[in-house]
Structure 1
Amino acid sequence: MSGLRSKDEHTKAIHSLKRAAVVVNQHSRRGRRRFPEVLRLMRAHGFERFEAYGVTNPRRLRQTLEKALESSPDLLVVGGGDGTLSTAVKHVAHRDVALGVLPLGTTNNFARSLGLPLDLPGAVAVFSHGKVADIDLGYAGDRPFANLASFGVSVEVAATVRPWLKRLLGRAAYPLTALWLLPGHRPFRAFLTVDGRRHELLTHQLNVANGRFHGGWQVAKDISIDNGTLVAYQLGSGKRLRLVVETLIRAAGGRWRSLAGGPFVIGSEMLLETEPPMAADVDGEVRLRTPIVLRTVPNGIRVMVPPDFEDR
C-alpha cells in the first residue's frame, strides 16, 4: 500500500493523537445493548473527542461508514458481526486508516483470526496498547472479503438461520441449521485450478478461507490471515452422512489440527468452477456465482491488533 504512513508512524499517531471515529451496528446481536459501554470505554482509554454513529438500519451502514471517514480519522472503530466488519473492510481497504474491531457478533471469525480479545474491554484496550498491522485481503471476483467465501449448503444456512436461534445458541445455531437443511440438499461437483493443477471433488460444502476461523471454530491452527495464501477445503463428501459427521466433529472443537491433517488446497489464486453453477456466500453476502476467480492481496488492509500479533 504505497503512499501510506509506515505502520510504526501510524501506530504512534493513534496512541498519541487519539483521532478516531466509531460506528456500531445496533442491529447486531449485542450492538444496541453495548453501544453506551463502547463510548464509555473509548473515553476511558483517552479517546476524548471522536465521532460516534449508531446504525439501526443495516441499509445505511455503507453511507454511515463513508460519513465517519470524512473526518480523516487515524482509527475507524467498527462494532458488529462479521457481516458488518466485512462491509467496513471494503471501505478502508488500501486507505491510510486502521480498522479497529469490536467483536459484537455471533461467531466473530474476523476478530478471532486477528487474535483479538472477544470481551469488549479487552478489544477497546487494543486501540491504546496495540499496534497497526497490514493483513491480507481476499477477493472473490472483484469483491473483497476478510474471512471466507463459501459454496454449498452454507449459502442456504446463511439465508435460513433464525435471529432468535442465534441469540439463544450463539455460534451453535449454524451447524444445527445446516443439519436441518441437509436432507434436501444436493451435492455438487467442484473444480479448483491452482498453479496449473486441477482438483476435482464432489461435496455438499466448499469453503475458501482467508482467515483462520469459520463458524467460530478454528479451521487449522497454522492457517494465517497474513501469509499471502487462501485455503480451500471441503466438509464431508457427496454423501450426506459424511457431511453430518464432519459438521458434528467441527462443532465439537475442530476437525484438523494443521494443514497437513486435512483436505486442503492452498494458493494465492484459484479458479473455481462448479456443476451446476453455484451462488457464493462472500463474508455473508450472496451476490456472485461460479465460475469465479479467488485471490489474495497481501497487505491489503490496515487493522489494530494486539502487540504479539505476528505481522509478516
Structure 2
Amino acid sequence: MLKRMLIIYNPVAGQRKFHKLMPVAEQVLEEAGFDVTLIPTTEQAKSATKIAKQGVLDGFEFIIAAGGDGTVNEVVNGLMQAPTQPIFGVLPVGTTNDFARALGMAKDPVEALHIIAAGATIKVDVGQANDQYFINNAAGGKITEITYAVKESMKNKIGRLAYLVSGITLLPKLAPKQVRITHDKGVFEGEILLLFGALTNSVGGMEKLCPPAVLNDGYMDLLILKKVSPIKLLKLLASIKNGSHLQSEDVVYVKTKHVEIECDASLNISYDGVYGGETPYILEVLPEKLAILADATRIEHRLQK
C-alpha cells in the first residue's frame, strides 16, 4: 500500500525554488513508496492553514510544508486545528528556514528530500500563543517586526540580505516597552527591547541565540533583553556568536512551560516570523505534540535523552 503524502508548497518561496525541485521531489518520494499530491498556497490569507486542515480531514498520513518559516507555521496551525495530527515534514526552500535548521534538515533540498523519504520520525514540542500555534518561537519587540515586515518580492531579489536591510532601518526606531512577564520561576517587571519564547536554538538565522534549547523537553527558553543603550545592544548582538549573551546582567534567561505577557502600551507579538497581534499574550508548551520526519542522528544534542 502506498502511503498518502500531501506537499503544501509556497510557489514563490526562496526565489521559486520548489518549481525546479518538483519533478525530483515526486520521483524520490514515489520511489520510497509515497503517493504524492502537490497543492500550492495562494495569496489568500492563511491558505496553507486551510489546505493542511483539509488534508487531515481527507486522510493524508503525511503532510509536508515546502517553503520558508511562514509556510511551516501556517501548516502547523492547520494540523493543530484538526482533530488528529498526521506525520509532519519540512522541505526547506524558503529564505531563512529557521525551523528546518533546528531540525537538522540538510540545506540542500534534494538531500532533505531523502531524509523525508527515509520515513524516520521524532516527536517535538509545539507552542501555543493565545489561540494560535508556533513550532519555533514567539517574539515581541520592535526589532522582531523585521521577520514579517520584509516583502516577499524583496526576499526573492536579495535573499537573507533583505532582513539585514530592514534591520538597519528599524534600529533608529527601537523603543523600550514597560512590561510585566510572568513565568514558572517568577515575574519580571521593567522596560525591555525584545523577548523570545524559543522552542529551538535557531532564531532569525542565528543558531546560538538559545543554545540550550531542546526540541522535546516540554519547555520553552524565555529570553528577555532589558532596556540598554545602542552601544550595549550592539555588543550583546556580537556576543551571540559564542553564546555569552545569556550570562549578561541585561538578559533574563529561564526555562519555562508557561509565560504571560502584559504591556502598558501595545507590544507586537509574532510567532515563527508571522504577525500575531498585540499583548496581552499567554504562551504555553504542548509537549511532544507533533511527530516530524527527521534524522535524529543529526540533532542528538537537541533532543532529550
- TM-score per shorter chain, which class? 0.7 to 0.9
Task: Determine the structure 2 residue equivalent to 1:31.
Answer: 18
1:227 aligns to what SS in structure 2? coil
Q: Closer, same or farther in 2 for the Cα pair 1:89/1:246, shift >3 Å?
A: same
Task: Determine the structure 2 residue equivalent to 1:230.
Answer: 220
Task: Determine if the alignment matches structure 1 residue 161 to structure 2 residue 146.
Answer: no
* Amino acid in structure 2 at the alignment position of 1:202: E
Q: Closer, same or farther in 2 for the Cα pair 1:61/1:96, shift >3 Å?
A: closer
Task: Determine the structure 1 residue equivalent to 2:43.
Answer: 57
Task: Determine the structure 2 residue equivalent to 1:284.
Answer: 273
1:85 aligns to what SS in structure 2? helix
Percent of aligned pairs sharing the same letter: 24
Contact 1:155 1:286 in 2 (8 A): no
- Mean CA deviation greater in 54-63 or 111-120: 54-63
- Mean CA deviation greater in 64-73 or 262-271: 64-73
Q: Closer, same or farther in 2 for the Cα pair 1:287/1:154, shift >3 Å?
A: same
Contact 2:29 2:117 in 1 (8 A): no
Task: Determine the structure 2 residue equivalent to 1:242.
Answer: 232
2:72 aligns to what SS in structure 1? helix
Task: Determine the structure 2 residue equivalent to 1:122.
Answer: 111
Contact 1:35 1:54 in 2 (8 A): no
2:107 aligns to what SS in structure 1? coil
* Amino acid in structure 2 at the alignment position of 1:52: L
* Amino acid in structure 1 at the alignment position of 2:278: R
The structural deviation recorded for 1:147 is: 0.8
1:177 aligns to what SS in structure 2? helix
* Runs (5+) with no aligned partner, structure 1: 1-15
Contact 1:25 1:84 in 2 (8 A): yes
The structural deviation recorded for 1:296 is: 0.4
C-alpha separation in 2, matches of 1:207 and 1:84: 20
Counting only pairs closer than 5 Å after superposition, residues 246-257 of structure 1 correspond to structure 2 as 246-250=236-240, 254-256=241-243
The structural deviation recorded for 1:280 is: 0.7
C-alpha separation in 2, matches of 1:150 and 1:194: 15
Q: Closer, same or farther in 2 for the Cα pair 1:130/1:217, shift >3 Å?
A: farther
C-alpha separation in 2, matches of 1:58 and 1:37: 28
- Mean CA deviation greater in 209-218 or 284-293: 284-293
C-alpha separation in 1, matches of 2:142 and 2:192: 10
The structural deviation recorded for 1:193 is: 1.5
C-alpha separation in 2, matches of 1:216 and 1:51: 30
Counting only pairs closer than 5 Å after superposition, residues 195-274 of structure 1 correspond to structure 2 as 195=184, 197-218=186-207, 219-235=209-225, 237-250=227-240, 254-256=241-243, 263-274=252-263
The structural deviation recorded for 1:119 is: 1.4
Task: Determine the structure 2 residue equivalent to 1:303.
Answer: 292
- Mean CA deviation greater in 31-40 or 71-80: 31-40
C-alpha separation in 2, matches of 1:233 and 1:175: 22
Q: Closer, same or farther in 2 for the Cα pair 1:295/1:70, shift >3 Å?
A: closer
The structural deviation recorded for 1:291 is: 2.1
Task: Determine if the alignment matches structure 1 residue 146 to structure 2 residue 131.
Answer: no
* Amino acid in structure 2 at the alignment position of 1:88: V
- Post-superposition Cα deviations, 1:105-133, rounded to whole Å, max 9, x if no partner, equal 11111111212212112211122324222
C-alpha separation in 2, matches of 1:75 and 1:257: 40
C-alpha separation in 1, matches of 2:179 and 2:21: 42
* Amino acid in structure 2 at the alignment position of 1:45: A
C-alpha separation in 1, matches of 2:245 and 2:3: 39
Contact 2:85 2:290 in 1 (8 A): no
The structural deviation recorded for 1:95 is: 2.3
* Amino acid in structure 2 at the alignment position of 1:80: G
TM-score (norm 2): 0.84
Contact 1:27 1:58 in 2 (8 A): no
- Mean CA deviation greater in 209-218 or 300-309: 300-309
1:186 aligns to what SS in structure 2? coil
- From 157, 181, 187, the equivalent of 2:176 is 187
C-alpha separation in 2, matches of 1:31 and 1:124: 12
Aligned length: 293
Contact 1:95 1:301 in 2 (8 A): no
